[in-house]
Structure 1
């Protein structure tokens, strides 16, 4: 994960209502193991966060100047250091206008992962840590807490510059620090929500269930394909990457690698080629299955409590919204 630029500024904001004090760095941090460790720890924490939003920049304006500052930097008309200083000054201004007391150390990190360039912007807090020195004495130190992140955004610079139609090149943490705090930080980034991650994930899972039913996939194979989908999507989420519909299709059916992708496109589910999977929604998508004496039951876990109710004492299931095909067969048998 080559780091192109990294710099940290500080907004010192006291809870007594006094004006914030800016401490702006004059130069970027030199390459070091400490920088790599900080960024790795941050990415691990950020990728694991549930409830992230995905979106795009508002058009540049006085209210949303960051995208213009960033464009100037990437075009070489402003240094990374000057860009980060100007951006932090704007962040501090919004902080004061919002009457918030949350300052911190503002991290700017431009780095490459694979062939993709990213910019991470985050407000980190310091925490007290205890360690042991060479004489085995306990010492107390302060360190940046990259594992507890509430204000952060990551911009896919490559996609922003190459795909003008994209609506998901920015990801950001939603609401963990309170609506007001989250709002001021999102205004600072100048981001508008463009993709509904949970909604897209639910649509993907619905398309998958329809595909399994349409293809009349046997129970054991359906279970394997479900685990393939969930494992792949979870792995992509852990990496901070979207789910590729074509790649997923190839994993679901190696013999017919385009079958699922063709099903999604032909049925017009409205899904993008890349989907920002929502971890919480994925965790709800598990199948309960069972077979005994000519009876075979299989359903997704997220239906339990909505369309399917389980009576534990009576050992029975109540199913609402039966498939039309099954209903028609039952009506014919009853008649």
Structure 2
């Protein structure tokens, strides 16, 4: 018989974003003359706190702007991280503790002579539940002094990991790497942080040389997708893409590398994070640091195409002001408002064809 209190509510089912395979932390401590590695001898137990930490780390990394993308260097003797990971992930010849210690020692060598202060180096191998993709994240986290209340309600100092503030991190898409993809490795470059992040890039052995044409084409795709997601009118879309063209053309003219944060601040100043998040979530892995390709930029304001017998090129504005009409079903273009000179020549041509018949 009901007692009026109702049935106890069931505990909500916890849906994991990431399935942790292995996680460990080694510390890179600065001492006189360089660094030493204070290593952990076994992997961390995966409890609620560790799960939350890795989920936060993965989410924050994915949303970070200023990342460079690339692949491992072929020279595994001077850039051995790829060799260590191959023994762990591809062949199973090495365990996670050994692999991450080798990587920490490599990081120590790369950090020598830099201004790095070191920190706690987290290594996490996890599988994203949504698509079963395996990743390895390496991130240097530092302690941050905060405040907490003790049992007596007194405010006391409390050290905690600065999860949101990390500046040095890299991620390997292990699944893509094993499948032979062209780009699967990224690291946080950060605006104006080349000198700071260079040793981390060298540690990873990341070859981030990019083809400007390919990156510019991906940039155009991301901009088109963003305009569509905002449900812009044709006029708004035209203005948006033309402004993007103007900004990128200036980068190209001045040999200024593309950087997402600066680009978003200029192109979408009212909410730059919205544009940045759209790019980061696109899956296109657009790298910072490339000089936009001028020819490829034309797609933002022009359409072009042709066969061996004809070629056409026109501004996007021609579609919006009804000079050119595209019929999706018949896959045809109707060109209106032809210039008088061209009309006159066409009339003569048609007239001459008629006389010959």
- Structure 1 residue 330: Cα displacement: 7.8
Distance 1:64 1:278, change over 3 A: closer
Identify which of 114, 117, 126 aligns with 2:143.
126
CA distance in 1, matches of 2:85, 2:287: 28
Correspondence for 2:49: 34
Please say if 1:237 is aligned against 2:237: no
Q: Radius of gyration: which is bigger?
A: 2
Quick check: 1:58 aligned with 2:101? no
User: Equivalent residues in 2 for 1:1-335 (5 A)?
Assistant: 1-14=18-31, 18-74=33-89, 75-96=91-112, 98-114=113-129, 115-162=132-179, 164=180, 166-175=181-190, 178-193=193-208, 195=210, 199-205=216-222, 219=234, 234=277, 237-238=280-281, 242=283, 275-276=284-285, 326=323, 329=337, 331-332=339-340
Q: Deviations over 1:41-70 (max 9, x none)?
A: 222321221121111111142211000010
Is residue 28–residue 118 contact of structure 2 (8 Å, CA) maintained in 1?
A: yes
- Unaligned 5+ segments in structure 1 are 212-216, 243-274, 280-301, 304-320
Name the structure 2 match of 1:271.
none
CA distance in 1 between counterparts of 2:223 and 2:277 reads 17
1:285 paired residue number: none
Report the TM-score when normalising by structure 1. Answer: 0.63
Distance 1:46 1:200, change over 3 A: farther
**Offset of residue 73 of structure 1:** 1.1
Q: Give the secondary structure class of the aligned counterpart of 2:142.
A: strand
- What is the CA distance between 1:170 and its match in structure 2? 1.2
Q: SS of 2:208's equivalent? A: strand
Alignment TM-score, normalising by the size of structure 2 = 0.59
CA RMSD of aligned residues (A): 3.9
Instruction: Report how many aligned residue pairs link the two structures.
Output: 246
